[in-house]
Amino acid sequence: MATQSSQWNNNTAFLLAATGSAVGLGNIWGFPYKAAENGGGLFVLLYIFFVITLGFPVFMAEVFIGKKGKSNPVSSVESLAAKSNSSKKWGIVGYAGILASLIIAGYYAVIAGFVIDYGFISAQGVAEGTAKDIWANQQSTFFDMTFWTVLFIVGSCYVVANGIDAGIDKAMRFLLPMLFILVLAMVGYGAYQGDFNAGINYLFSWKADDIETTGQAAAIVQAAIGQAFFSLSIGMGTLMAFGSYMPSSQKVSKASGVVVTADTGVALLAGLAIFPLAFGLGLDPKEDAFGGSALVFETMPEAFAQLGVIGQVVGPLFFFLLAVAAFSSMISILEPSVAFLTQKFSMSRMKATGVILLVCISLSLVSIAGHNVWKDVSVGALDNPFEFMKYFADDFLLLLVGTGMSVFVGWRLQKVIDADTMGISSTTMMNLWVFILKWVSPIFLMTIWTLGNLQVLFEYDLLDKIINLF
């Protein structure tokens, strides 16, 4: 049984791969609509706050487990557990991460499929006033959706099958610069064509009167934390896998700092690309069409339609940007499970990728059906299988795994943590990091996790009940 990972063959590979992973649909599709749904500026401020106070420390914990464990997410956790006289059961954290990664892959690919589809739709031109019908129509066709989704999955599996240097590193070297240029181009266009001041104002000003109830406040906090973790790719083994390929000379803290900064920067830039355009055309974020997928697949196409011929150029450019971002993230979503299969079951990379390809396609069919044939098949309190997969992975599993890693590193690995691997020379900083992992992040994450799940799954507003006691 081979469990040792190979290594990136250079020092920038981790930075590129982890940034490519972090910057994805979560930044460009997710962040702007969540900001719009949660009252703009306040959400953005909370998001930045949680990225720094919880996201960054837990991000480092996950990379550390990978770098020290030098293996796939499950074996890394298990071998570090053995090293620290902890139970082998900690491996569950790795397994839960892999489960989350497969479910995310199954719905992420569907959104990415829409993105490719919309690249072509917007190139052909959309007539004003028709974007809403087009969006409804695109979701109703099971076979078309399957075509775009499978195309995307096969493409990302092709890169992963080629290995970490010839596949992932090579692809990232090309995709990431393109992504940054495209984001900047979109921001530039938004500033030139749209209402830049209104955009900035909306994203960065604090409107406390938007919050009316405690339940609402808790929901905004939960959304901000969930978004911070998802956007940073925390909680399903991506960072452990990429960390395990890190050369020993690279330091966890510095490398993590670069990735976290780049990811947050791109989310804010995506907001600065989308909102000025939308405001410039008189669209209102309080309208329904701003929520969820509708922002990118309904509001933006409508905005491009109003631009006429220019929209036929800017529109495809925007969807191309989204596709590039989604592609580099999808590669990283597939890597943990492929690494797991190759190392635990001594499979060739080719064969392991083939297995994961089939799993992914099967799961994606369920989430595609959630848009049409199973649209009304609710799962628990969630509307359909697509919403269920999204919720179960993003809001349920990721925070659990994040807490697990935080507790594992903070409480069990104290003797294993070393200043050299981390690249943290100040004892104060080191103690602060461990303190956050031990206390702050588990308590905070589990509180939010409990409140959020009670609310969503059982419609029970615990916070409100507690406040009413006083």
Instruction: Return residues touching ligand TRP (CB under 6 A).
Output: 21-22, 24-27, 230-231, 233, 235-236, 238, 329, 332-333, 398
CB-CB contact of 469 with 462 (8 Å): no
CB-CB contact of 304 with 297 (8 Å): no
Sole residue written with tokens 């103690």: 431
In angstroms, give the least distance from the CB of 30 to ligand TRP.
7
In angstroms, give the least distance from the CB of 422 to ligand TRP.
21
Q: Packing angle between helix 91-124 and helix 349-369, nearest 10 degrees?
A: 60
Residue 213 neighbours by CB distance under 10 Å: 12
Residue among 27 and 421 whose Cβ is closer to ligand TRP: 27
In angstroms, give the least distance from the CB of 21 to ligand TRP.
5
> Which 3-state string (H, E, C) describes 71-122?
CCHHHHHHHHHHHCCCCHHHHHHHHHHHHHHHHHHHHHHHHHHHHHHHHHHH
Residue among 62 and 461 whose Cβ is closer to ligand TRP: 62
The DSSP 8-state label assigned to residue 236 in this structure reads S
Residue among 51 and 283 whose Cβ is closer to ligand TRP: 51
Residue 83 neighbours by CB distance under 10 Å: 14
Residue among 305 and 352 whose Cβ is closer to ligand TRP: 352
In angstroms, give the least distance from the CB of 31 to ligand TRP.
8
Please tell me the distance from the alpha carbon of residue 154 to that of residue 112, in angstroms, as a whole number: 12
Residue among 75 and 337 whose Cβ is closer to ligand TRP: 337
In angstroms, give the least distance from the CB of 25 to ligand TRP.
4
Residue among 325 and 417 whose Cβ is closer to ligand TRP: 325
Residue among 236 and 324 whose Cβ is closer to ligand TRP: 236
Which amino acid is present at 247?
P
In angstroms, give the least distance from the CB of 351 to ligand TRP.
23
Joined tokens for residue 264: 């947050």
Residue among 99 and 217 whose Cβ is closer to ligand TRP: 99
In angstroms, give the least distance from the CB of 324 to ligand TRP.
12
In angstroms, give the least distance from the CB of 18 to ligand TRP.
9
Residue among 109 and 368 whose Cβ is closer to ligand TRP: 109
Please tell me the distance from the alpha carbon of residue 297 to that of residue 319, in angstroms, as a whole number: 10
What is the H or E stretch that residue 181 is in? helix 170-193
Residue among 21 and 453 whose Cβ is closer to ligand TRP: 21
In angstroms, give the least distance from the CB of 28 to ligand TRP.
8
What is the H or E stretch that residue 191 is in? helix 170-193
Phi first, then psi, for residue 382 (nearest 5°) are: -100, 145
Joined tokens for residue 4: 């040792």
In angstroms, give the least distance from the CB of 318 to ligand TRP.
16
Half-sphere exposure of 35 (CA within 13 A, CB side): 32
Q: Which residues are CB-neighbours of 248 under 8 A, at least 6 positions away?
A: none
In angstroms, give the least distance from the CB of 153 to ligand TRP.
14
Instruction: Indicate the burial class of 407 (C-beta count within 10 angstroms; 0-12, 13-18, 19 or more).
Output: buried
Of residues 289, 270, 292, 286, the one with CA closest to residue 386:
292
Phi first, then psi, for residue 379 (nearest 5°) are: -115, 110
Residue 191 neighbours by CB distance under 10 Å: 18
Joined tokens for residue 258: 């670069």
Phi first, then psi, for residue 3 (nearest 5°) are: -120, -10
Residue 201 neighbours by CB distance under 10 Å: 15
In angstroms, give the least distance from the CB of 58 to ligand TRP.
12
Residue among 62 and 195 whose Cβ is closer to ligand TRP: 62
Cα distances (Å, whole numbers) of residue 428 to 190, 406, 422, 439, 464 = 43, 19, 14, 16, 38
Please tell me the distance from the alpha carbon of residue 265 to that of residue 348, in angstroms, as a whole number: 37
Residue among 48 and 198 whose Cβ is closer to ligand TRP: 48
Radius of gyration of the chain (CA): 21
